[in-house]
Structure 1
Amino acid sequence: MLDSRFFSYKDTVLSCEGVALDALAAEYSTPLFVVSRNALVEQYRAFEEAFSSLSHFTCYSVKANFNIHVIKALSDQGCGCDVNSGGELFRALKAGVDPQKIIMAGVGKSDQDIEYALQSGIFMLKAESLSELRHIEAVARRLGVTASVGVRINPNVTAETHPYITTGDSKEKFGIDEGSLDEMFDLFKSMKHVNFMCLDMHIGSQIFDTEFYHAATEKLLDVLDAARAKGFSIDYLDIGGGFPVTYEPQKPATPIEQFASVLIPVLKKTGTTIIFEPGRFIAANSGVMVTKVLYRKRNHIGKEFVIVDAGMTELIRPALYQSYHEIIGVKQQEATIVADVVGPVCESGDFFARGRTIDAVGEGEYLAILSAGAYGAVMSNNYNGRLRPAEVMVDNGRTSLIRKRDTFEQLIENEV
């Protein structure tokens, strides 16, 4: 969804912070991701303002958009990072993030990931199984260090969202089941190279109903009570991310202030510092993808297709999650058509919209696919020999190329 402070029509052309998107498309070609730096920063500030009365620490979930310029824009505001792998940790460090503001999640961290995290001096590793706890202890012992560890608890709360992005249900792979708590506490008491400092949860993404957060938080507080009864001093609670954003104007996201009003009274009583991990909430509506209309065609049953130069290789969310993204003409149009907006990839699932009323763009004109700042460029791939697109950041009218487009040579550079 467009935020008119950062994306708006100027002289009939859609612009990002005053820079015309058709001019950017002409300069950098398409498909093209365009990110507003100020949209990123203002969304982070809105989150911080909502929870300002709570002792907390915000770690941007870099999996949403791990471009180092995006990470740096947020780090410059004081934000930390939640990383999910050694590669994401490398990116965060390259962006200049203080290691003591980095936490590492991930249900399948390798020993190499754990070693890299410990050697980098990050704030905390989050364990998701008893086996992983043993691996962290072994690596820490070998390195002669003490690992600061949080434990992700699976609260068995099934939130109403797409099944592929629900993560707090016992049927899913994430976290330590509440039935294993006594064994977990005993394991911690036997460990000499692990400091148990945090309890963590994450129930999924795009959660509109505050009650799911409230219910899961209450379960986490039960575990906190049990841990303290066993003699553990838990100084941090990590309640994850998953706060919603608006993709469809007809389905506005629950305001972040509403989540704050529900969660702050509960969390204040814990005497802990709260860690948040917003990713999509910060990044999604800070970026758009610009794509060129290659062809228009109509079949014998009267179905209209708008074929664009972007596909599921650039923005996989519609194919993977059946996700809705608003699509508008970069140049304002007076007329509309009903069409499927499809890409060039050799898959029937390569579409952005089906039977959608869109601006009546012609061949050679541009469409903007909105809310593409999260899980767009970061999930792009080279299927069909496609070249991953360029990324541009706009900051108060200044434009920076923050990722070059792939080249053919890069497609084979690692093949031996």
Structure 2
Amino acid sequence: MLDSRFFSYQNGELNCEGAGLEALAERYGTPLFVMSRNALKNQYAAFEDAFSGLDHFTCYSVKANFNIHVIEALAEEGAGCDVNSGGELFRALKAGVDPRKIIMAGVGKSESDIEYALSSDILMLKAESLSELRHIDTVAGRLGVVARVGVRINPNVTAETHPYITTGDSKEKFGIDEASFEEMFRLLGSLKHLRLVCLDMHIGSQIFDTGFFHAATEKLLDVLEATRSAGFAIEFLDIGGGFPVTYDPQDPATPIGDFAERLKPMLETTGLTIIFEPGRFLAANSGLLLTRVQYRKRNHIGKEFLIVDAGMTELIRPALYQSHHEILPVRERDTTMIADVVGPVCESGDFFARARTVGAVNEGEYMAILSAGAYGAVMSNNYNGRLRPAEVMVDQGQDRLIRRRDTYDQLIQNEVDL
């Protein structure tokens, strides 16, 4: 959803912080991701304000958008990073993030991921299985270090969200469930190259109901008590992310202040530093995807299609999660049409909207697909031999390229020559 402080129509043209989107499309080509630096900063400030007064540390979840310029913008405001792989760690370090403000999650970390994290002296690795604890201990022993670790607890709370993005249910692959706690405590007591410093949870994404966070946090606090009783000195409690954003104006997200109001009284009593991992909350509505209408098509039953030059290769969320993204004409329109907005990829699932009322645009004109700052560019791919798009960041009307568009040569650069 548009935040009019950063995205608005001016003189009939949609702008990002005063930069006209039509001019950006002409300068850089389409499809094109456009990020607002100050929208990112504003979202981070809103999050920090909601949880002010609580001893906490906010780690941007890099998986939402791992462009190093996005990471750098948030790090400049004070954010740390939550990474899920060696590649994301590399990006965070390249963006200038202090290693001691980086935490590494991930249910299937490789040995090289673990070694890179330990060698970089990041704040902690978060383990999701007993086997992983053993593996981290082995790598730490080989390196001659003591690894700071957190353990991800699966609270068995099934949040109401898309099934592909729920992560706190014991049927899913994430975390260690309560049946394994006693074995976990014995194991941690025997491993000589680990130091348990954190308990962690993450129950999913786009959680609108504060009650799910409350229930999961209660379970995590019970685990904290048991962990302390077992003799472990915990320093951090990681609540994860999953705070919602508005994609559809008809379904507004629960304000972040409501979550803070529910959680702060529970967390203040722990005496620990609380870690949060917002990703989508910071990035989603800080960016959009610009696309050009290639063709207007009407079939024999009168169905109208707008065929645009962006597709599921640039923004896969509608195909993967059936998610809603608002779509606006870059040039304001007084008239509307009902159309399917579809991409050029050879899949029936390659669409952004079905039977949607949109501005009546013509071939060659531009449209903006909103809320594309998270899980857009970062999930883009080269299916159908398509070139991953360029990315631009706007800061107070000044635009700069933060990722060049792919070239044909890049499509085959890692393949063995014929």
CA displacement at 1:87 relative to structure 2:
0.1
Q: Partner of 2:213 in structure 1?
A: 213
CA displacement at 1:235 relative to structure 2:
1.2
Q: Partner of 2:306 in structure 1?
A: 306
The answer as to 2:76 corresponding to 1:80 is no
CA displacement at 1:42 relative to structure 2:
0.6
Q: Partner of 1:259 in structure 2?
A: 259
Question: CA-to-partner distance for each residue in 1:92-111, whole Å, 9 max, x for gaps?
Answer: 00000000000000000001
Q: Partner of 1:52 in structure 2?
A: 52
CA displacement at 1:324 relative to structure 2:
0.2
CA displacement at 1:53 relative to structure 2:
1.0
Please tell me the residue identity of whatever aligns with 2:87.
G
> Could you tell me how far apart the structure 2 residues matched to 1:6 and 1:305 are?
30
> Could you tell me how far apart the structure 1 residues matched to 2:159 and 2:197 are?
27
Q: Partner of 2:341 in structure 1?
A: 341
> Could you tell me how far apart the structure 2 residues matched to 1:185 and 1:197 are?
13
SS at match of 2:4: coil
Q: Partner of 1:190 in structure 2?
A: 190
Question: CA-to-partner distance for each residue in 1:73-120, whole Å, 9 max, x for gaps?
Answer: 000111000000000000000000000000000000001000000000
Alignment of 1:119-268 (within 5 A): 119-268=119-268
Please tell me the residue identity of whatever aligns with 2:114.
I
Q: Partner of 2:408 in structure 1?
A: 408
> Could you tell me how far apart the structure 2 residues matched to 1:147 and 1:336 are?
59
Please tell me the residue identity of whatever aligns with 1:289.
L
CA displacement at 1:353 relative to structure 2:
0.2
The answer as to 2:367 corresponding to 1:367 is yes
SS at match of 1:202: coil
SS at match of 1:393: strand
Question: CA-to-partner distance for each residue in 1:154-201, whole Å, 9 max, x for gaps?
Answer: 000000000000000011000001100000000010011101010000
> Could you tell me how far apart the structure 2 residues matched to 1:79 and 1:247 are?
24
CA displacement at 1:355 relative to structure 2:
0.5
Please tell me the residue identity of whatever aligns with 2:343.
G
Question: CA-to-partner distance for each residue in 1:274-329, whole Å, 9 max, x for gaps?
Answer: 00000000000000000000000100111000000000000000000000000010
TM-score of the two chains, using structure 1 as the length reference: 1.00
CA displacement at 1:384 relative to structure 2:
0.1
> Could you tell me how far apart the structure 1 residues matched to 2:286 and 2:408 are?
29
> Could you tell me how far apart the structure 2 residues matched to 1:274 and 1:88 are?
22
Please tell me the residue identity of whatever aligns with 1:53.
G
Q: Partner of 1:25 in structure 2?
A: 25
Two-structure CA RMSD over aligned residues (Å): 0.4
When the two structures are aligned, how many residues end up with a matched partner? Answer: 416
Please tell me the residue identity of whatever aligns with 2:111.
D
The answer as to 2:357 corresponding to 1:351 is no
Alignment of 1:296-335 (within 5 A): 296-335=296-335
SS at match of 2:198: strand
> Could you tell me how far apart the structure 2 residues matched to 1:230 and 1:92 are?
35
Runs of 4+ in structure 1 over 4 Å off: none
SS at match of 1:176: coil
Please tell me the residue identity of whatever aligns with 1:51.
F
Q: Partner of 1:288 in structure 2?
A: 288
Please tell me the residue identity of whatever aligns with 2:356.
R
Q: Partner of 2:269 in structure 1?
A: 269
The answer as to 2:278 corresponding to 1:278 is yes
TM-score of the two chains, using structure 2 as the length reference: 0.99
> Could you tell me how far apart the structure 1 residues matched to 2:263 and 2:341 are?
40
